[in-house]
Structure formats: structure tokens, C-alpha cells
């Protein structure tokens, strides 16, 4: 069986060398899934399909054929992503039809040799109504959302990597609560065709893993152009795995912004961020956030809910009694935004992209909380506040969750690292330097 400390690349190398079969790797993960069933991380598992695929990968290896970067690697995908012959549930009784084709990103994973185990739980249509999933660190707490099952599946060791999505804070926040690494690459890096559309302007894909190396490796596998996705980047992609394995040419510089909503942070979160800044001495600068940040929060909401209303209206779901009250209220709010408000919000989004292009001429990364603090209790009935991700998502910037802090109750809290648009490899390189430096200093 793969060692828990092994990266995906190391395990794939063991498979390539014949020291481990893909079937053994997949069987190990399926056993973990069964043992962790009480967490509710998965909406659908197809053991027969996964084992047949693993056997196929083993035959390819024995034939001496080319092996992919994810050869034999078990993976879970959020249940808003279509996988052929699996139910497309989206966390709602309004869905559940069996897909007749893969999402583009699933094709990319399988082209790299991955084995899809099944679908991970999502909140209702990837909005705020909680999923049934529990936090693996303590089942009394929420794993966050909306990519609840993907975060929990990685945190509990079901799979080494799982795919999620983020329209506001749906990757970075659950990673923070569950204590795992996560990445939301730059908007346009991972194609979205075959993923349930909530907001075409803001929807972005992401992933959860147990190391920075794994994030880089899997992001590269997913990083393909799809001309059918209007936001897909028709240009060469950053080499993320190369980035995470590289040393920066000089020690990086960091910025911490005094955010207008920082009063929402827990005391432990604020103190943890201050201690990290102190450990970096002269390499971090604390700056006042631009006054426009509160305006950006509003712009994000206008774009998000206007586009969500239009998407649900096209599906004929607006009047459905199967929608939760919280989603119904959000869609009603989206219906009431005027067209000029929506267009102004889109203009604001374009202006913030330009602002950050200039900002990152002086800094390698921004350090920010991933969430306000520890996970909320499950019985509180919500998935936590995504506000610490909103601005970065609006701007489409690449972001990471680094699981290096603990709250007053002993639960995980993440540090969010934010990079320049389409400079994802540099962000991973900076994060590797940061983690190595902090751990060497005994600060994490």
C-alpha cells in the first residue's frame, strides 16, 4: 500500500516500477471509503467501475505502454461534475440523471491515467444549504461548503486528491476547516464544460490534496484549453509541478492587507497571522486594503446572484418546491438586480483585475486568512462565511490553502496565499519556499 507520506508522483513511480499495482491502490482507497462511511463524503461510489479501470491501468503498465502522470491514481470528483454512467446529483432531488458523457476535466484526468472512484457530496447546487457531510476532525463540526465531500474525502484519507469548484469560497474554506491543502487555480486554467453552471463569470474549478506537490501535479493534468468554455485560456499554461519543485531566484516578498472585514476573524486567526508575519521579519509588508474592497464584495454578489437566477430560470427550477428556502431567497435577490447594476458590477470586476496586475509587480503573494476561524458546529446549519475568499475569486486570482494553523478549539485553520493571475507556478514555488522556511524555523 502507498505510504501516507508519499506524494502521488512517488506512488505513480512505484506503480510504474511494479512495486505496487493500481488495483492495490484503488482497493486500499475503497476500503478507506467504506470505513469512513459515517462522514457522508460520497454521494456515489462505483467500485466495479473503479476496479475495472485499475485493472486496465495495470495491463497498460505490463504491456510497456506509455504511462500518464496520474497512472492508477484514485480520485473523487464533486457531484456537480459529470462522469459518464454516474448520477449527476448536484445535491438536489431535482437532479440525479445518469450522465452520458464526461466533463472535459474528467476526460483530462483519465487521459493522465486517473481512476475515478465516484462523486463527492456537494451542498445544494453548490450554494449554501449544507450537505450531510461531517468534518473528519470532529463530526460535530461542518466541513464547510460547497465542496464539502471533496475536502472531507481527502482529509479522511479516502483519496489522495479530489476535485471541487469555487464561485465564492467553496474550495479554500472547506480546505481550511478540514485541514488539507487546496488550490483554486487562475480562472480559465481548468475548463468547465460538463460542470453545473451557477455563475459563468465566477465559476472556477479547484482541488484538494495532501501536499503542494500533488496540487501542482494534478493541476497540470487538468490544465487544458477548451474552446467551448469562453473563459478557457487559449495560451500556454504555467507548469505548476515544475514550479512547486523549484527554488525562487530570490527570497519572496509578501503583503498582508488590513481587510475591511477583518473584525470577523477569530482571535486565534488574527494572532496566528501576526505570528507568521513576525517570523518572516522584513519580507512582509502590512498594507491598508484599498477602499474599493467593500464595493468588490457587493459586485461579486450582484454578478453571482444575477447569473444564478438566469441559470435556474433556464432550467425551469425557479418555482420548484424542491429548492431550499436559502437558495430560493438568493435567487429572488438575483432576480431583483437591475441590468445596469449587473453591468456596473462586471466593470468593477475588470477594474480589480487591472489593479492586481500592478499590485503583484511588488509582491510575490498576499497572505490572508482562508476563513474567519475554525469550522462552525454542524448543527448551526451553515457552512461558514466565504468573505475571506470573495475578492480573490472575483478577480480570478490563483489561491492556496496552507493547513498550518489551529484554532482555540484545536481544529484546523488555513492560511490563504494569493498570487498573480496566470502565474500559478510562481505561487506554488513561493508556497514551497514559505512552508520550508516556516517549518525550518519551527513556527508551524
Report, as residue numbers or ranges, the catalytic residues: 78, 146, 170
Rounded CA gap, 10 and 7, in Å?
Answer: 5
Place of cell 503542494: 212
| Sequence-separated (6 or more) residues with CB below 8 Å from residue 61 | 15, 16, 18, 22, 67, 71, 72
Q: Cell triple for residue 33?
A: 471509503
Rounded CA gap, 21 and 8, in Å?
Answer: 14
Burial class (CB in 10 A: 0-12, 13-18, 19+), 10: middle
Residue-wise DSSP of 366-391: EEEESSSSSPPBGGG------HHHHH
Alpha-carbon dihedral of residues 142, 309, 318, 119, nearest 10 degrees? Answer: -40
| Sequence-separated (6 or more) residues with CB below 8 Å from residue 248 | 364, 429, 430, 433
Q: Cell triple for residue 103?
A: 466533463
With beta carbons less than 8 A apart as the criterion, state whether 87 and 98 touch. Answer: yes
Rounded CA gap, 319 and 123, in Å?
Answer: 19
Three-state SS annotation for 185-243: CCCCCCCCCCECCCCCCCCEEEEEECCHHHHHHHHHHHCCCCCCCCCCCCCCCCCHHHH
> What is the number of H-type helices and E-type strands within the chain?
14, 11
> Can you tell me whether residue 406 is helix, strand or coil?
strand
> Can you tell me whether residue 67 is helix, strand or coil?
coil
Amino acid at each position: 500500500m502507498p505510504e501516507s507520506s508519499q506524494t502521488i508522483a512517488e506512488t505513480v513511480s512505484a506503480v510504474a516500477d511494479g512495486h505496487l499495482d493500481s488495483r492495490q491502490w484503488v482497493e486500499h482507497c475503497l476500503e478507506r471509503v467504506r470505513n469512513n462511511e459515517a462522514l457522508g463524503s460520497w454521494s456515489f461510489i462505483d467500485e466495479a467501475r473503479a476496479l475495472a479501470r485499475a485493472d486496465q491501468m495495470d495491463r497498460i503498465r505490463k504491456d510497456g505502454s506509455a504511462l500518464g502522470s496520474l497512472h492508477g491514481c484514485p480520485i473523487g470528483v464533486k457531484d456537480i461534475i459529470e462522469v459518464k454512467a454516474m448520477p449527476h446529483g448536484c445535491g438536489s432531488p431535482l437532479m440525479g440523471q445518469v450522465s452520458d458523457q464526461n466533463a472535459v476535466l474528467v476526460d483530462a484526468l483519465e487521459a493522465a491515467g486517473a481512476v475515478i472512484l465516484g462523486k463527492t457530496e456537494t451542498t445544494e447546487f453548490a450554494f449554501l444549504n449544507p450537505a450531510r457531510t461531517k468534518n473528519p476532525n470532529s463530526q460535530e463540526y461542518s466541513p464547510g461548503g460547497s465542496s464539502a465531500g471533496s475536502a472531507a474525502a481527502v482529509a479522511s484519507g479516502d483519496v489522495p486528491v479530489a476535485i471541487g469548484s469555487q464561485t465564492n469560497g467553496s474550495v479554500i474554506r472547506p480546505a481550511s476547516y478540514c485541514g488539507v491543502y487546496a488550490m483554486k487555480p487562475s480562472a480559465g486554467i481548468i475548463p468547465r464544460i460538463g460542470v453545473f453552471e451557477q455563475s459563468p463569470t465566477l465559476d472556477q474549478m479547484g482541488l484538494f490534496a495532501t501536499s503542494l506537490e500533488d496540487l501542482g501535479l494534478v493541476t497540470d493534468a487538468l490544465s487544458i484549453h477548451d474552446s467551448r468554455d469562453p473563459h478557457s485560456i487559449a495560451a500556454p499554461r504555467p507548469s505548476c509541478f515544475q514550479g512547486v519543485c523549484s527554488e525562487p531566484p530570490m527570497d519572496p516578498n509578501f503583503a498582508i492587507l488590513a481587510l475591511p472585514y477583518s473584525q470577523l476573524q477569530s482571535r486565534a486567526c488574527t494572532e496566528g497571522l501576526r505570528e507568521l508575519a513576525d517570523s518572516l521579519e522584513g519580507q512582509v509588508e502590512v498594507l491598508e486594503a484599498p477602499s474599493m474592497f467593500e464595493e468588490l464584495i457587493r459586485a461579486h454578489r450582484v454578478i453571482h446572484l444575477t447569473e444564478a437566477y438566469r441559470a435556474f430560470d433556464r432550467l425551469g427550477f425557479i418555482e420548484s418546491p424542491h429548492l431550499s428556502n436559502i437558495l430560493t431567497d438568493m435567487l429572488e435577490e438575483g432576480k431583483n438586480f437591475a441590468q445596469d447594476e449587473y453591468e456596473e458590477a462586471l466593470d468593477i470586476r475588470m477594474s480589480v483585475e487591472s489593479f492586481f496586475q500592478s499590485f503583484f509587480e511588488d509582491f510575490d503573494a498576499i497572505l490572508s486568512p482562508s476563513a474567519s476561524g475554525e469550522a462552525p458546529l454542524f448543527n448551526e446549519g451553515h457552512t461558514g462565511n466565504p468573505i475571506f475568499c470573495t475578492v480573490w475569486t472575483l478577480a480570478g486570482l490563483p489561491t492556496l490553502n496552507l493547513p498550518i494553523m489551529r484554532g482555540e478549539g484545536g481544529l484546523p485553520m488555513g492560511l490563504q496565499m494569493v498570487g498573480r493571475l496566470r502565474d500559478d507556478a510562481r505561487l506554488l514555488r513561493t508556497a514551497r519556499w514559505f512552508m520550508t522556511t516556516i517549518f525550518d524555523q519551527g513556527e508551524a
